[in-house]
Structure 1
Amino acid sequence: MATHEQDALGTRTIERITWRLMPLLGLMYLIAYIDRQNVSYAKLQMVGDLGLSEAAYGFGASLFFLAYFLFEVPSNVIMERVGARVWFTRIMATWGLITILLGFTQGTVMFYVLRFLLGAAEAGFFPGVLYALTLWFPQDYRGRMVGWFMIASAVANAVGAAIGGALLDLDGTLGFRGWQWVFLATGLPAVLLAFVVFFILPDRPERAPWLDAGQKKWLADTLAREQATTPHTDHTNPFRVLTDRRVVLLALLYVAFPLAAYGLSYWLPTVVKGFGVSNTVNGFINIIPWICVGLALWWVPRHAARTGETTWHIAGPALVGAAGLILSVLLPGDAVKFACLCVAAAGIFSGQPVFWSLPPTFLRGATAAAGIAMINSVGNLGGFVAQNVVPWIRDATGSNLTPMLFLAACLLVGVVMVFVVQAVLRKPARESLADVTLARH
């Protein structure tokens, strides 16, 4: 087949996969992210109702990430074996039910238990999608696809911001408090979508009824050529990837991003509440940062793919994020501070799709599933840190904005780590091949 015909076939294949797969994955992530963030709005009432201190609330909210850390790698290894359709269905159904149960929380211990179970239920979803994308898209497209996927998180934050405040204002309807409505109304869509996922999500490209034989062959051949020309680590036991120094370094680097992201997004509603607005207005104001995030997530991965540069497309946005956080403390005026936080949010999120294009360059198969999950699980411990350290700093200083300096410092450490990690990943090919040979023995 002529080169231009192959290119046309490839374009049609990628477009078909994108439009068939990405909207569903994005919708799943949108619901998942709303279910993660809903506690930040419920907090505005439930802290008083349950008699929680800010520190106790932060600890309970952070237990999600502890469970996430413990169950992420096993979950992704299971998904690689049983397939995305069954495993994503299980994940969505269980996290939806637990979110609904959070609406009936009676006390501190129950809140702690349910937040831990929610993390265990959702563990494996985000890295599972990242692994699934390696089965559907060649390397050149993955950063953009992760960007599209993560735009759902920005939409989720915007939607969550809009409905979170509005649901709080349903306080007293049908005998439920506003914070209970937050959990009930956001948990049900996950349960309903689980059934949709079971019936329409293919496990792998070869099982997709909407790809013809030629498109399946083009994708299989393209991915096979990539694997043949790129040194990969493929451990017989996928759990051995947990000691791969490249994976460990990527995991340590990634800590900075969830730490900054969750520290910011979980506390933005509290910061805006300090402006003296109602719950509903608070929610609508919080749409603005996530519009900025969505635009940045659209642009940065595309620019990285067009230029072929990755280091500064990860480090640059992180620097912007750190600067935004610092300026939000130093500059006067509520509107200016909020604008700085909008810029910070865009910087914190927009380099992450480029970051996630790195692990598939040296991992594949079950090893890739375990490695990606390990990076995400360790990185998300940043959320655990954020939800304990940020409220501790807030309680100690009496300020909602001073903790932003801590988050900025963590991002700056992450920027330094970007260059360290890239130096390791870019070692001469003969060293990479030697590492692969050693890993297999």
Structure 2
Amino acid sequence: MQTEIEKRTLRRITWRIVPFIMLLYFIAYIDRVNIGFAALTMKQDLGFSASVLGFGAGIFFWGYFMFEVPSNIILHKVGARLWIARVMVTWGMISGAMAFVDGATSFYVMRFLLGAAEAGFFPGIILYLSYWFPARHRAGVTAFFMAAAPLSTAIGSPISAALLEMDGVMNLHGWQWMFILEAIPALLLGVVVLGFMTDKPEKAKWLKEDERAWLIKTMADENAQKDKSGKHGILRGLADPRVLGLALIYFGTSAGLYTLGIWAPQIIKGLGVSSMAVGFLNAIPPIVSVVAMVLWSRHSDRTGERTWHVIIACVAAAVGLVIAAGANSVVGLIAALTLVNVGISCAKPPLWSMPTMFLSGTAAATGIATINSIGNLGGFVAPSVIGWIKDSSGSYAGGLYFVAGLLVFSAVLTLIMSRFQARERNAHVYQKV
């Protein structure tokens, strides 16, 4: 049962922090996956095959992988305000520069640099939330933050499609205008972060004294509890086998997410609709998934159950991909993609509530970054494999089956980890007795 001070404090920090970080992630996700819309005309203008597009879209995650852990360690040391601002300004500059790629090599280089620039943003925000919200409230808050990804697809898809219509303005292609104009918000918000974001509860002058005192004590007590059994050093966060397990689970969900982000517009376009129609049709599945994600994560918080909330969601997404592979009508395809969106969106918040239950301090920074960096390599593998299979077979079906298999693997591994941890807890209780 929540006390009055708990309700008041959580309400205040939620309204202060969550809408702002949602806006940041909204912009981040648009700049990360707008290549899916650019490709509707960019492929023809630059002569890219599906393999080149898939590899270039996915190489973003190698830059992300290489710089993720050091970026999150720096964020933990210097504070979220300064580091998130740096991340946003550099990724905004590189995202805008994507407008001037002129071949496969420059495309690969710029996508790699974009990943390196953005490395640390997502795990940095996950770590940041662990400074402000007690663990029992974290899945719900994480869901609101992560809802920005499907929302950015829902709102960004028609916008990106409309910007493609600027083809020929000032002798630039429509996809060039899309990259330039969609990069500007990241640059502006990078400056806003410096004045708006607060690093830790101790510095929150916008909280009342009793609210600040309650939050500091609550988070200190929670960290002290983790100190008794949790992991704290850099090596602890990297070496914990649970971190590797969660990274492999996240690999499957990332493969599904970026299959949607990169290839869904192409798959919809393949049914013979216009680019503008693709923009509106691609917006339907994420709108549904936002509602499902919030309700699912609230249920996970209310029951305290994480494992089955991840498993069921991963299986649902896998089923949706299998159906999408055989869909031959717009209605059937959008229904299948809606199921995929719902499944992937619902899996992520309860999954991201798991690492901060056993990691704290620097270990949390490195552990979360490790999970995200390894897991996000699914965003490289899936688009690349789908592009290669499309060029080889002329169909997206084989690639979609492959990604469905990765999601089933995530579900099975989640169940195995759950059983293993339950056995460990029971053994620990038996030893105490």
- What secondary structure sits across from 2:48 in the alignment? coil
Q: Select which of 126, 129, 145 maps to 1:130.
A: 126
| Matching residue's letter, 1:177 | H
The residue aligned with 1:269 is: 265
* Cα distance change on mapping 1:332 and 1:103 into 2, 3 Å: closer
Q: Residues 234-313 of structure 1: matches in 2 within 5 Å?
A: 234-236=231-233, 238-313=234-309
| Matching residue's letter, 2:371 | I
* Cα distance change on mapping 1:335 and 1:8 into 2, 3 Å: same
| Matching residue's letter, 1:234 | K
- What secondary structure sits across from 2:302 in the alignment? helix
Q: How many residue pairs are counted as aligned between the two chains?
A: 428
* Cα distance change on mapping 1:421 and 1:174 into 2, 3 Å: same
- What secondary structure sits across from 1:255 in the alignment? helix
Deviation digits for residues 130-169 of structure 1 (CA, Å, limit 9, x no counterpart): 0000000001110001000011111111122111111111
TM-superposed deviation, 1:234: 3.3
Q: Residues 61-100 of structure 1: matches in 2 within 5 Å?
A: 61-100=57-96
List alignment gaps of at least 5 residues for structure 2.
Answer: none
1:164 equivalent to 2:160? Answer yes
- What secondary structure sits across from 1:211 in the alignment? coil
The residue aligned with 1:233 is: 230
The residue aligned with 1:374 is: 370
In 1, distance between residues paired with 2:112 and 2:345? 25
| Matching residue's letter, 2:69 | V
In 2, distance between residues paired with 1:220 and 1:430? 32
Deviation digits for residues 226-279 of structure 1 (CA, Å, limit 9, x no counterpart): 23334543344x144212111111111111000111112211101111222221
- What secondary structure sits across from 1:114 in the alignment? helix
1:406 equivalent to 2:402? Answer yes
- What secondary structure sits across from 2:57 in the alignment? helix
Q: Residues 385-400 of structure 1: matches in 2 within 5 Å?
A: 385-400=381-396
- What secondary structure sits across from 2:206 in the alignment? coil
| Matching residue's letter, 1:374 | T
Asked if the contact 1:293–1:346 (Cα under 8 Å) also holds between the matched residues in 2, the reply is: yes
1:343 equivalent to 2:339? Answer yes
With 220-229 and 90-99 compared, the bigger mean Cα shift is at 220-229
The residue aligned with 1:34 is: 30
Question: In angstroms, what is the RMSD of aligned CA positions?
Answer: 1.7
Name the TM-score, length of structure 1 as normaliser. Answer: 0.94
TM-superposed deviation, 1:31: 0.2
Deviation digits for residues 199-246 of structure 1 (CA, Å, limit 9, x no counterpart): 11111111112112211111121122223334543344x144212111
In 1, distance between residues paired with 2:114 and 2:299? 36
> Percent identity, aligned pairs only?
43
The residue aligned with 2:18 is: 22
The residue aligned with 1:104 is: 100
Deviation digits for residues 49-82 of structure 1 (CA, Å, limit 9, x no counterpart): 2222211121111111001001000000000000
| Matching residue's letter, 2:6 | G
TM-superposed deviation, 1:431: 6.8
With 394-403 and 83-92 compared, the bigger mean Cα shift is at 394-403
In 1, distance between residues paired with 2:102 and 2:317? 38
With 398-407 and 73-82 compared, the bigger mean Cα shift is at 398-407
| Matching residue's letter, 2:230 | T
TM-superposed deviation, 1:430: 8.5
In 1, distance between residues paired with 2:111 and 2:225? 44
The residue aligned with 2:184 is: 188
TM-superposed deviation, 1:428: 4.1
